[in-house]
Amino acid sequence: MDGFSNLPDQVAHCILSFLTITDLTRFGCASKRCRELYLSAPSLNFDGFSIANQSTCMKRQRLFNCFDRFFFCRGDNKIQSFRVRWFSHVAEDRVMYLSNTDEDTDYSNDSDITTCFCEEHFRVMSWVHNAVRCNVEELDLDISPGSEIAPKFPSHVFLCASLTSLSVDLGCTSLTVPSFTFSSNLKYLELTSGLVKDGFFKWISSCCKCIEDLVLQEVAANNITIESSSLKTFSFVNDDSFDVLNISCEKLESLIMEWIIQSPSKYSLNNFAPRLKYFSWKGNLMNHRNLGNLDILEEAEILKKPKGDEFENVFEVLCSLSRDKVLTLNEETVKALFREGSMPPPLNNVCSLGLRIGNVVDELVPAMVSLFRGMPNLCNMLINTKPPLDDPKSNTSGYNIGYWKMQNLAFINQLKDVTVKLSDGSNGVELVRHMLECAQNLEKMLIICLPQNLDDNMRRLDESKKIPCATVLFKESRDFLL
């Protein structure tokens, strides 16, 4: 301990930043020097509280009192980062816990079970107020007030001049709109759950001139409009809790969307992000969409869940990615792209393709061929299979190497690096055989097999003619690659 006490404050604080508040408090009891470091620690992590210390209302109140004294003793010492994980107890859960703890005691009339419910949230928020007063730079809050109350998250937190990073799990909390009078220095903002009013997004557009990263997860809002001249990364995960998403961000480089909708005609997407380099879209298609100019897009991930015949919609989305170089598609998207006699989307610039599929079933093979025809310059490929539990094995062996050779796919001569995870059936094995025999420029192939199929697949592929300069590796694994 003496050696640690002699460390410069900056070094000691860096080490202490890995401790939770419980361990930090224990450290502060070791010596006078340790107490000084404890009270001046700029990184605070209020997480990892033991169940024993939260089992009764009285014990939880003792924790609050201890932390109140801690903030009083540390005074105005700067807080650089503050992380809080605190969940208010629900009355029914408390009764169950206490009844299981002591079967001979009747807690049905114990007022202690329900009285501190609302107080807890506001006492936790007093910690946040202290952090704001101490010029906090990073806030990470997961404060669940419970379902019986729906307090408002204090809007003045967003106006803290020193705050650059804010992550909040709102739970059932509603988010009020901060004042438009003051600008914010936020660079990173993450909101999870909760009710967000439309005016809040106007505030982001008007007052967050430094924001670079925005994350929205399962927030409830009517419509979302994001206009920013500084935003570089925007990520959101949502269901059908809002109808319209408008994005106008001239510096946006990464857009990640997971949007599950029920009625395609009800929703609309408008995107203006001329500098977009990475685009990931999971979920359903909507009829009204404008992806904007994606001329400098480098990598895209389209994992759609089309409903019915959506060939034209999926085809249009893929055509908008014609400048893309790295592309990942799932099985549903590949199938939706295929229509007998139709032309594949022109993806001449794609040089790296990732496929996430269940298995190489017979009905998927023609769709894969059609997709490959639109990628003549493909040189890297990753095929990842993960069959569902109810996946039939009878329809995975309808296409042999002769079929693949007859397709005369242009990309075969460009292939250099291939990774493929094989499942049951021979369709995937026959495709691999075709690549090993015909891909003249192939440099490396990694073949991942299920344990029960490894020996058989190795034997079958060893019997094939191989490109002499290609390195072929086998690996046994059950893991999903992507």
| Percent share of the chain, pLDDT over 70 | 89
3-state secondary structure 377-441: CCCEEEEEECCCCCCCCCCCCCCCHHHHHHCCCHHHHHCCEEEEEECCCCHHHHHHHHHHHHCCC
Mean pLDDT of 410-415: 94
Q: Report the alpha-carbon distance of residue 36 to residue 40 in Å, rounded.
A: 6
Lowest mean pLDDT among 100-104, 266-270, 346-350, 373-377: 100-104
Q: What is the mean pLDDT of the chain?
A: 86
pLDDT tens-digit series, residues 94-153 = 444 444 444 444 444 444 444 444 577 778 889 999 999 999 999 999 876 554 455 678
Q: What is the pLDDT of residue 105?
A: 47
Reported as a pLDDT band with limits 50, 70 and 90, residue 466 is confident
* Long-range CB contacts for residues 464-467, cutoff 8 Å, separation at least 24: 464/433, 464/436, 464/437, 465/436, 465/437, 466/436, 466/437, 467/436, 467/437, 467/439, 467/440, 467/442
- CA distances to 65, 124, 210 from 88, rounded to whole Å, are 16, 10, 34
Average pLDDT (219-232) is 92
Does 253 have pLDDT greater than 60? yes
pLDDT tens per residue across span 261-311: 877 778 899 999 999 999 999 988 888 899 999 999 999 999 988 677 788
> Who has greater pLDDT, 445 or 286?
445
Q: What is the pLDDT of residue 90?
A: 53
What is the pLDDT, as a whole number, of residue 89? 62
Amino acid present at 468: P
pLDDT of residue 182: 87
* In contact, 481 and 327? CB cutoff 8 Å: no
Return the residue matching tokens 């295929």.
Answer: 338
pLDDT at 448: 93
**Mean of the pLDDT values across residues 46-50?**
84
The percentage of residues in the chain with a pLDDT greater than 90, rounded to a whole number, is 58
DSSP 107-147: -TT-GGGTTTHHHHHHHHHHHHHHHHHTT-SEEEEEEE--T
Do strands 326-330 and 288-290 pair parallel, antiparallel, or not at all (unpaired)?
unpaired
Q: Is the pLDDT of residue 175 over 90?
A: no
SS3 content of the chain, % helix, strand, coil (to 5): 30, 25, 45
Torsion 66-69-73-77 (CA) sign: positive
Residue 459 CA, chain-centre distance (Å), reads 40
Alpha carbon of 140 to those of 45, 81, 164, 230, 254: distances in Å?
A: 9, 8, 11, 22, 23
H-only helix segments in 9-90: 9-16, 21-28, 32-40, 57-74
Domains of the chain: which residue ranges? 351-482
User: What is the distance between the alpha carbons of residues 145 and 152, in angstroms, rounded to a whole number?
Assistant: 10
